Structure 1
């Protein structure tokens, strides 16, 4: 593992429970996860898969739910064959979504560890900023 961590934050005008619902509802996840189909029951130890197309290439990413503390914390591992790395533990990232109640509603911070370089972490940050913006739109449409 490396020490390069990407970090993205956004404020969402919705309560943490609403944001959590948007985050863990597989039917809504495609709205913010690059149009992918997400499958998981979001229970610790359960698998999570992402299937779709990104930048013209099909993918099937996978990982495992590590922690799900509604409505505060969701943490899971993530591996993508598009990375070009072998499917071994050192090739996995850990994604951590932290939800904190704020004056506007909810502040969501997303971190991704195990980026091989600062450039890779910066690229991930840009991707996750797009994801959080789409999560914001999705959660705010749900209201509450």
Structure 2
């Protein structure tokens, strides 16, 4: 069992565009299974996510917030009782501008040793990040 999953992708967009796609419902709905996001974007604030029909999917603490460079927050999925019973893991989004109008987006999902069911959902991150890249580069998401 791994305690950490790391995903990297390069996106033809500015750091500000990637930040907006991560932090606004307008973009998030297009690549994150139709979910919305509402947050108090500061350390100690809450990041709340709902399904397309309004079901509470997540309510997690924000650990670090440095727009448009870094966002770190808790992760506990509330839509499934087995996932909701696990302790909160952590997601860290790091956005690094690159030469040629690209950014390198690194997503680290860690603190997974005590959350094995959450760790099994690795395919979800691949889908989400592919969708995020598609939305920003083509204007069309996967969901």
Deviations 1:12-51 (A, max 9, x none): 0011111112111122212222111211132222211112
Deviations 1:35-75 (A, max 9, x none): 1121113222221111217xxxx652210111111111110
Judging changes above 3 Å, is the alpha-carbon distance between structure 1 residues 4 and 70 closer, same or farther for their aligned structure 2 residues?
A: same
Residue number in structure 1 paired with 2:44:
45
Match of 2:40, SS state, is coil
Judging changes above 3 Å, is the alpha-carbon distance between structure 1 residues 4 and 83 closer, same or farther for their aligned structure 2 residues?
A: farther
Match of 1:71, SS state, is coil
Count of matched residue positions in the alignment of Structure 1 and Structure 2: 134
Residue number in structure 1 paired with 2:129:
132
Q: Deviation at 1:79?
A: 1.3
User: 1:100 and 2:96 equivalent?
Assistant: yes
User: TM-score normalized by structure 1?
Assistant: 0.78
Higher normalized contact order (CA 8 Å, seq sep 6+, divided by chain length): 1
Q: CA RMSD in A?
A: 2.6
After the TM superposition, which of the residue ranges 43-52 and 77-86 deviates more from structure 2? 77-86
Deviations 1:78-109 (A, max 9, x none): 2113251565xx61011000111123500101
CA distance in structure 2 between the aligned counterparts of 1:102 and 1:126, rounded to whole angstroms:
26
User: 1:61 and 2:58 equivalent?
Assistant: yes
| Native 8 Å contact 1:15 1:106 kept in 2 | yes
| Native 8 Å contact 2:74 2:89 kept in 1 | yes
CA distance in structure 2 between the aligned counterparts of 1:41 and 1:129, rounded to whole angstroms:
26
